[in-house]
Structures are given as structure tokens and as C-alpha cells.
Amino acid sequence: MVTDTPTPEVPARRREFRPVALAVSLISVAIVAGVGGAASADAASAYGRLQQPSWAPPSWVFGPVWGVLYVLMAIAAWRVWRADPRPGNRAITVYGVQLLLNLAWSPLFFAMEQRGWALVDIVLLDVLVIATLLAFRSRDRLAAGLLVPYLAWILFATALNYSVWSLNA
């Protein structure tokens, strides 16, 4: 039987709903998704014109994958924020910085066609997603687990970005 009775390891405040934190988490990833979508509005045709590795997924895969990942990211951030809502929460700060790098990638890769700079961005993003996952893990193991698919996808996207950049340089 599952109860909401706090245990000594899990403070009572961790169980609070905190709708503002959830709203901010969802809105922040929606902004990133919106900017990414706007920057890659013509991505399907532009992506199709690029030389790609044989293992590159079709362009239609990216939207659904990112949709799921953004929801998982928002839930993970909300869980960590509700566990420690203080300003200066290191885990949320690192999360915010990686979100900004995520935000920058689509405009760099698609709108500006700066695939080399997009590669630099995504390598930094890899490092910060790992840092975020570790910071989240120290506060909420489930939140960290929710970021594992994101890390896997970002690592795959890094390899894809490198391959596309090198094939089209």
C-alpha cells in the first residue's frame, strides 16, 4: 500500500504539489519547444537536403521524441523544485543553463545553418545534462531517472550533429 506519510528520509515538503513550480517547468520547456519549432519550421525539407549518415532517423521522428522528452524534463524539474524551492537551488540552476543551450541548438543548426557551432553547443549540452542528472539524483532519484531518455537522445543527437556537419562541410 502506498501512502503519503513522510518518512525520515523524505521531508513532508517534498510531497507538496506546488502548482507554480509545475507551471513554470511546463512553460519553460514549452518556450524551448516553441523556439526550436520556429527555428526548424522548414527543417524537414532542409534536413532532407543534407548528406546524412545511414543511421539518421527520418525527420518526422524528431517532433514526437522531443514532445515526450520535454514533458519528462518538465516533470523532473518540477519534482526537484518542489523538493527544494529555495532561490539558488543548484540543481535547478544547472537545469536552467542546459535548457538555454537546448534552446540555442535549433536556431544554430537550422535557422543559421551553423552546424559546427551547433555541435559545440550540443557537446556543452551533453556535459550539462549529465551535471543536471547528477544534481537531480542527489535530490530525487525519480527526477534523475526521468532525464535518462533525454541524455540518451542528446548523446545520439550529438553523434548525428557531428556526422551531418562532417558530411556537409
The pLDDT score that the predictor gives to residue 2 is 47
Show the domain range for 147: 23-168
Query: How many domains, the chain?
Result: 1
Residue 7 within any structural domain of the chain: no
Is residue 2 one of the residues assigned to a domain? Answer: no
CATH number for the domain harbouring residue 43: 1.20.1260.100
> DSSP assignment of 11-53, as one string?
-GGGG---HHHHHHHHHHHHHHHHHHHHHTTTHHHHHHHS---
pLDDT at 100: 93
pTM of the entire predicted model: 0.82
Q: Tell me, yes or no, whether 76 lies in a domain.
A: yes
Residues 122 and 159: their CA atoms lie apart, in Å, by 10
- Tell me how far apart the alpha carbons of residues 29 and 74 are, in angstroms, rounded to a whole number: 6
Which residues of the chain are under the pLDDT cut of 50? 1-10, 12
Show Cβ contacts of residue 76 under 8 Å, excluding neighbours closer than 6 positions: 136, 140, 142, 143, 144, 146, 147
Does residue 12 sit within a domain?
no
Give long-range contacts, CB 8 A cutoff, 24+ apart: 26-34: 26/74, 26/78, 28/74, 28/77, 28/96, 28/99, 29/70, 29/71, 29/73, 29/74, 29/99, 30/70, 31/103, 32/70, 32/99, 32/102, 32/103, 33/66, 33/67, 33/70
Supply the DSSP symbol for 58: P
Asked if residue 74 is part of any domain, the answer here is yes
29 in any annotated domain: yes
Residue 44: per-residue pLDDT: 65
**CB-based contacts of 67, cutoff 8 Å, min separation 6:** 33
User: What's phi and psi for 136, nearest 5 deg?
Assistant: -65, -40
| pLDDT value at residue 15 | 56
CA distance 52 to 168: 8
User: Per the domain annotation, does 5 fall within a domain?
Assistant: no
Residue 16, domain member (yes or no): no
